[in-house]
Structure 1
Amino acid sequence: MAARESGRIKDANQKRVLDEAARKRRARKAVEALERDNFHDDPHADLVMSKKVPKFQETLESQRGRKKKTKGADYYKQRFRKNFAQLVEEDRGHNPNPPNYWSAQAPPSKRPERHFCAVCGFPSNYTCIPCGARYCSVRCLGTHLDTRCLKWTA
C-alpha cells in the first residue's frame, strides 16, 4: 500500500524559489517599469483653442451683456506646470549652494523597518516563499498568487 502524499508538500517542491539577488533584480525591474509607465508629459499642454470655433451654448442675449473673462492663476498653473525632474533642475540652477535637494540627507532610522502588504498596503507579517513579497492575510496571499507571484517578469 502506497503512502499518501500531501498536496501542499508536492506543490512546494515544484515551486521556484528566488534567491535574494534575483528578488532585488526583480523588484528593481518592477520599479523601473512603473516609472516608465507613470512618467509622461501632458499631451494636450500645447493645444490652443481656435477662436473661430462656434460656441453653441451661448445665445445672442448672453453675449451682449457679458464681460470679458480674465484667466485666473489656476489656468497658468495648469498651462505651465513642470514635472519633478524639471523642478529639481530649476532648483539646482537657482540655488547651487547647500541646503538644496541634492545635499539633503537623513541618517538611517533607529527604529526597525516596517513591512507592508504588497496587495492591500496594510502592515504585514508574512512573506511569499517564491518571490519574497509581503502579504497580511490568506485573502491577500490568494490575490498575490493569482495575479502577481513570479508573473510577467523579464
Structure 2
Amino acid sequence: MFDLSVPWWEFVARAAIVYLVLMVMVRIAGKRTIGQFTPFDLIVVMLLSESVSNALSADDHSVTGGLIVAGTLVFLNVVFAVASARSRKVEQITEGTPVLVGRDGKLFEDVLKRERVGIGELEKALRENDCELADLKYAFLESDGNFSIQKKPG
C-alpha cells in the first residue's frame, strides 16, 4: 500500500509534465473553457482527468505515489500563482488578458468567433446587466470567461 513501484522523482516529473501540457491545452482551448462550462465542456474536463491518471501514476496504486502526485500538482499551482502575482508577463501567459468584444452599441462578431464564444452568450450578459445594445459603451470577455459590461453614461 505504501511501497512505490517507480522512483519518487518519476511521480514529480510526470505530474509536472502533465500539469504544464494541460495548462497549455486549456489556454489554447480559449476563455470559455475556463469560464461557463457547457455540459460538453464538463465532459471534456472529466475525461481529461481520467485520461491522464495513468500518466501521473505510472500504474502505481500506492498511497505514497498518489500523495506525491497530489503534492506536486498543488506545489506547481502555488508556484504559478506566486509567479503570476509578482510578474505581469507571467500573469498574461498563464491567465490571459481581457478582450474587447463590443463598443458603442456594436458587437465585434469576428472577435467573438475567434474567441469561440456565441453571440447569445454576450446578449445574455447584456440582459443580466440590464443593458440594451444601444446603451453599450464597452463589453469585454475577461480572462476567466465572464463578460464585463459598461453602459454609456446617462
TM-score by length of 1: 0.28
> Which is bigger in relative contact order (C-alpha 8 A, separation at least 6)?
2
> Which of these two proteins has the greater Rg computed from alpha carbons?
1
TM-score by length of 2: 0.28
Larger fraction in helix: 2
